[in-house]
Amino acid sequence: MNLLPDHGVVYATVLLAHVARISPRTGVDEWVAAARQHGSHLATATDLRTPAQSLIAAGLATVDEKGTVRLGRPLAVLAASGDARRAMQHAAVTLLIAQPPSWLRVAVGSECVERAYIPQPDLNALSWLGESLDEVLVEARRLVGARQEADLAKEIGDVAEEFVVSALKAAGQKPVHVARISDAYGYDVELSEAPVRFLEVKAAGPQTADRFHLSRNEFDMCVRRGDAWRIVQVVFDAGAFIANPITTADVREIRELSASAVRGLVPGDTPAFRWESSALLTPSASLWRPSDLTPDPGFLHRGFGSKDAADD
């Protein structure tokens, strides 16, 4: 079951947690029956069995060797809450953490929510939270942790690289996707016959296209290779982060930044300053140039976070 915390699922979660806390329940049938008995008239019109089974499947509740339903710590905490409104909000956060929707890591930052990245049906389902929606989403995103963010950044970067490689092949060139071999090259794609032979690919969404991270190794390669090295930025539309598959239509823009422009953004090392791992660069819009790359109309890639679709 999808544990997206719409009102019905959250109501069922709070009710099930409450009855499991006040008295041990043996098996799902008894658990659900107790919830119907203790619930309001809304309980009779709410599917309680599916949420009960899903809470167990998600590890939020367990059934021990005697068949007794045991609450996991998050559900035990919300069951003990004396504030019904806060219990509902806590349940929503708990469900988002247990089964994060694919858009959570894209749409929600440390302090803000980009609702354009959230599918409208999901926004509608969450509308019962009212003014608390952003607070709940930000809290869930924080608790999910930075690991998802790092995973997503790599996933977006990989798709951008594949997009550039596909465009080069469609143009009759023979690119080598060296990033698949090692991250140590200092660039992602290499060409054997071109004025610009070393391409460092950066991916972005509409809200992050003004900046990118550059590793020290990438900068050193920029200096070493000179004008033969270049940054190619692939800017995805907001819809790309929930699309499956991702196609050429999901790319808003391809643009480039020359090696000389990059060198001009990075201060030189001094006895008092040296950056060693990476830096966040924010070039002015005037430094970017439209790319000559023509997207491959046949480009197709599984969606971000998708586990069941294969690359084309």
pLDDT digits (tens, 9 = 90+) for 253-274: 999 999 999 999 998 888 887 7
Q: How many degrees, rounded to 5, is the angle at CA 8 between CA 303 and CA 47? A: 100
Question: For the whole model, what pTM was predicted?
Answer: 0.61
- 205-214 burial, b at 16+ Cβ within 10 Å, e below that, comes to bbeebeebeb
- Quick check: 245 and 311 in contact, CB under 8 A? no
**DSSP reduced 3-state for 203:** strand
The CA distance from 262 to 293, in Å, is 20
Please say if the pLDDT value at position 302 is more than 80: yes
* Average pLDDT estimate for 214-233: 95
Confidence grade of residue 40 (pLDDT, cut at 50, 70, 90): confident
State pLDDT tens for residues 101-128.
Answer: 988 878 888 778 988 889 999 999 999 9
